[in-house]
Structure 1
């Protein structure tokens, strides 16, 4: 009997989620789009990094970091399709474990 209860809860969640979303609600834990303010946001170069990783034939992973990344995000929550992202990654600023 105990196994039926979790399965019933899962089935209810699977059925209820599309209904809630169709009624304009949001799934639990989903970001609240009404809290997004339209505008242009700038990346803070001192606190933005791009981390990359290369798998070396499955034996080891080589990781590097690009710092001083700059960029902007232009967003209007009423027109998300028109959002624009512009990012500049200075390749000369790469940091790796070896040259």
Structure 2
């Protein structure tokens, strides 16, 4: 049980590290002021990369579940897809479900 949680937390850590990078980039661009629009493309690129990482981590979490909790297939099937807009909320809601299930 605790091994499963540990693996899930590792996946979550990857997500949070990537999100921190985005926030740092955004902070830089907002400080620059007028140059913000030129830097906008760079931020979008970061956001896309993080979207890919979310998907990868989501798959990893799903695989962890399949391996360790076969009796809990209903929960595994309900893993949400992550969109750019509500990725933070979705991940948090999903992780709370997972930890309750585990």
Q: Does the TM-score normalized on the shorter chain lie above 0.5? A: no
**Structure showing greater relative contact order (alpha-carbon pairs closer than 8 Å, 6 or more residues apart):** 2
Query: Between Structure 1 and Structure 2, which shows a larger proportion of helix residues?
Result: 2
TM-score by length of 2: 0.27
Determine which structure has more spread, i.e. the larger CA radius of gyration.
1
TM-score by length of 1: 0.28
Query: Between Structure 1 and Structure 2, which shows a larger proportion of strand residues?
Result: 1
